[in-house]
Amino acid sequence: GTTVLSAIMAQNYAKKNPDKRVCAVDFSSRAGDLGEKFGIDKPNLNIHECVLKFLEKKNEHLDINNYKSKIIDYCFPVNGVYVMPTSQVDIYEFTDRRYSTSEIAQMYRFVLNGLKEQFDAVFIDVTKFGGYCYDIALQEATKIVLVSDGKIASTSHLLHKIGQLKDDSRVSVIINR
């Protein structure tokens, strides 16, 4: 479904635009398998590690903006696409619940904006019920492709999310049966 489409769109964009820097990032917690679509198996570097590293730097009262260039270190270059996979462990388990939801969400936004600064195109794969990661991706995206399996529940969820957007001209919808 959505992950396959995310991987294909990132790869196609990279092939058609070889002069552009392209990133594909998996914002799915536990259910993510974008890395696998690019041949990355059980990565030790992933979005959770990146978020955790920046949370730790922030807690050390360091200016995390000085470390934005290090975000790319959590990406794997594969056929013209830099891939930032997810971990199969929930972010709360990953951080031993040391950080609040708002702190974690703030850091996901920071990482996403850091990727947007370093790449010409960032493709974000999220699950349909991805919580704050889903909302951050929708808020920060310049173009949105929402994918549904055509079932009433998921289509209803898509319509609800589209209704929450201030600018729905950024949205394309794909029904994948």
Question: What does pLDDT average to in each consecutive run of 10 residues of the chain (177 residues)?
Answer: 84 95 84 83 80 86 86 93 82 66 85 92 76 72 66 65 66 61
Place of tokens 């950024």: 170
pLDDT at 150: 61
For the chain, counts of helices (H) and of strands (E): 7, 6
pLDDT at 103: 86
DSSP letter at 131?
Answer: T
pLDDT at 68: 87
pLDDT at 67: 85
pLDDT at 82: 96
Place of tokens 């890395």: 35
Q: pTM above the 0.75 mark?
A: yes
What are the CB-based long-range contacts (under 8 Å, 24+) for 164-171?
164/138, 165/138, 170/141, 170/142, 170/143, 170/144, 171/144, 171/145, 171/146
Q: Using CA atoms in the order 13, 150, 148, 170, what is the torsion angle rounded to 10 degrees? A: 80
Q: How many CB atoms lie within 10 A of CB 156?
A: 11
